[in-house]
Structure 1
Amino acid sequence: MGIEMPIAGFIVGLVVGMTGMGGALIMTPIMIFVFGVSPALAIGTDLIYSSVTKIFGAWQHWRQKTIDFAVVKWLSAGSIPGALLGVLMILLMQNHFDTKQLNSAIGKILGVTYLLIAAVMVWRIFGGKGRTTRPDDVQRPPKGKLVALGAIGGFVVGMTSVGSGTLFMAVLAMIYPVASAKLVGTDILQAVLVTAAAGLAHMSIGNVDLHLVGKLLIGSIPGILIGSRLTTKIPDMAVRTALMLMLFLSGMKLLS
């Protein structure tokens, strides 16, 4: 795991910066299938790595004024408690299963989550785009809806490390169709908060490898800065299609 980890981090950072999604969807399977990290350790390590990486993406979007701070506030009001509840669920599983059973159970949960998110992404692309609006025409979703979305998404993030970008982006795009760059920036900032909360909770129960985090950050920080600058300049359909394919294949492998 010499230069391979920084390269993997750069690729993931680039994708996250461009689309606001894909971090855990790429990195967690890479750690499990390529580098042989256990599912529980991969989840906690990815959350810490992701939270630090996304700080730099959020900073770039803040400079570009592509963040809706009110939406971030209400999403986080639900997502942070939800994420902590998800980590508590993992802790309960660790107390009741041996290592082999735990890794198998978490692998199955990840597999189902990957397939569900792939289905949501397919639906969004082919059936759920809906109307287009100018940013000035869009009214923010009700606070209660944002908190509920945050709580559900946060729980998924806490258990699987997946969803801080993809899940929130998919649902936000349906209920708050603002310009793509603003949607990405808003999502990345709230993802910083939810992944940090979940990651620190995983660290407290021993599910984080800080050595791996450091190697990943060497590549991911320049990757997300470059990707964030490209957000408003290139289409992301090819990236999303590749993510969907990878999600489907990873989900099927984890469930097999």
Structure 2
Amino acid sequence: MTWLVGHLLAIGVGISLGLLGGGGSVLTLPILVYAMGVAPKSAIAMTSIVVGIVSLFGLLPHSRRKQIDLKTVLIFGSATTIGAFLGAKLAGFSVVTATLQMLLFAVAMLVAAGFMIVRQPRSNNSLGDREHQDSLSSYPRPLCKYCWLWLLTEGIGVGMLTGLVGVGGGFAIVPALVLLGNLTMPAAISTSLVIIALNSGAGLIGYLGHVSIDWYLTGSFTLAAALGSIIGTYLSKFVSADRLQKWFGYFLLAVATFVLVRVLLN
């Protein structure tokens, strides 16, 4: 029964990814820990695999549109992958307990929820015109002289967060690519998927050897999430992601509060 519930929730994660283009993967860790009983450190490593593969899966339609900025992947992605590897290695020290990791995850989830709740809708255009909505009204234009330096600095920070708690970090990567990388929103989203996949791979390498991974569960969970993303992508043709984003943000807020309470009580 636990296996079935967990995989139904995995399909839900995929649907949210397909509908919103991101954010849903942050639900993977609490599902593995609280619904399927996986130890937190193992669940974080497994989450890295799920997030990385599903990000590559979601990248396919973007790659055909040639919206990936390879220069930004090289600059920002190199910093995030180094950070992710270091974060995973840091998690191997005894001082970094599973409780601390789950606490950091809950905080990251609260931040992600905040981004989704407060960000303004992009426009009221038809759903078919989403790819052409480059309005960046939610973000100011970059004004810094050394944006590349800030980009590298944030890259290392986001990467370490990925390595420590397994989140993709898209909620921080996309605004950084728009603000500091001067990318359009579609290009930032496409490029972020590549970076998230690289982060997840680097984080996984950092965890190998000091955590146990249930490869069968990881594979089946990933397949369920991939199936859900196909369903979500289809449903996105009929549903406005902007309308769903704020409500999903409140849902993330509720889940983050649940995780935080569980961590503090334990």
Query: Is the pair's TM-score, using the shorter chain for normalization, greater than 0.5?
Result: yes
Letter paired with 2:173: F
Match of 1:213 in 2: 218
Matched, 1:249 2:254: yes
8 Å Cα contact 1:61-1:228 kept in structure 2: no
Number of positions where the alignment pairs a residue of Structure 1 with one of Structure 2:
242
Pick from 183, 186, 191: which aligns with 1:186?
191
Q: TM-score, normalised by structure 2?
A: 0.77
Partner residue in 2 for 1:63: 64
The structure whose RCO (Cα within 8 Å, separation 6+) is larger is 1
Q: Which amino acid aligns with 1:110?
A: F
AA paired with 1:113? A
Distance 1:246 1:21 in 2: 14
Bigger fraction of residues in helix:
1
Structure 2 counterpart of 1:122: 117
Check if 1:107 corresponds to 2:102.
yes
SS of 1:125's partner is coil
| Alpha-carbon distance in 1 for matches of 2:31, 2:109 | 14
One-letter amino acid of the counterpart of residue 40, structure 2? P
8 Å CA contact 2:148–2:181 kept in 1: the answer is no
- TM-score, L = length of structure 1: 0.80
- Alpha-carbon distance in structure 2 between the residues aligned to 1:31 and 1:167: 23
Partner residue of 2:17?
A: 16
Q: 1:248 to 1:33 in 2, by over 3 A?
A: same
User: What is the correspondence of 1:15-164 to structure 2 with a 5 Å cutoff?
Assistant: 15-93=16-94, 96=95, 102-125=97-120, 132=135, 142-164=147-169
Deviation of 1:184 (Å) = 1.9
Unaligned runs of 5+ in 1: none
Provide closer, same or farther for how the CA distance between residues 55 and 242 of structure 1 changes in structure 2, counting only shifts above 3 A: same
- Structure 2 residue identity aligned to 1:61: H
For 1:38 and 1:64, how far apart are their aligned partners in 2? Answer: 40
Please state how far the C-alpha of 1:201 moved relative to its aligned partner.
Answer: 1.8
CA distance in 2, matches of 1:7, 1:143: 42
RMSD: 3.0
Change (3 A) 1:224 1:161: same
Q: Distance in 2 between matches of 1:120 and 1:173?
A: 15
